[in-house]
Structure 1
Amino acid sequence: MNTALDTLPKIGAPATRALTEAGYPALRDLAGVPRAELAMLHGVGPKALGIIQGALERHDLSLG
């Protein structure tokens, strides 16, 4: 059974590919990861980071 933590939120194909290739295939993998580290990935911009942070907060988690 997939939960919201098992998948990435809808952030766009380039950002999804970049996160998956960097070893973050699920939302739970992003908890505690520094925003600056994710921002260096191609396709992961402020909008995607905001969506990710919001999704994490719904599970009482956060980016680093």
Structure 2
Amino acid sequence: MMDNTEIEHEFPRSIGKPAQRALLAAGYQQLQELTSATEQELLNLHGFGPKALGILRETLAEQGMRFKS
């Protein structure tokens, strides 16, 4: 049985636990869902910073996606 800290998600582990928790708390669980968010919206999340943003930007680009403009 999973507790709240073990919710399945698609985010790269390299973004770090605080960033993962911030995304999950904001309701994001899949990379595709991030295309509805702007970079600034994500940076406003507590625990989410520029390093995580850069990693996710690259990950999205590799799959032909990007953040909302």
TM range (shorter): 0.7 to 0.9
**Cα-Cα RMSD:** 1.2
Deviation at 1:32, TM superposition (A): 3.6
Segments of structure 1 that go 5 or more residues without pairing to the other structure are: 1-5
CA distance in 1, matches of 2:29, 2:36: 15
Q: Which has the larger radius of gyration?
A: 2
> What displacement does 1:59 show?
0.7
Question: 1:57 corresponds to which residue?
Answer: 61
Task: Determine if the alignment matches structure 1 residue 30 to structure 2 residue 34.
Answer: yes
TM-score by length of 2: 0.79
Q: Which residue of 2 aligns with 1:7?
A: 10
Question: Cα distance, 1:58 vs. partner?
Answer: 0.6
Structure 1 residue ranges (4+ consecutive) displaced by more than 3 angstroms after TM superposition:
none
| Number of residue pairs the alignment of both structures matches | 59
Q: Percent identity?
A: 44
Which AA in structure 1 matches 2:11? Answer: L
Q: Distance in 2 between matches of 1:28 and 1:45?
A: 19
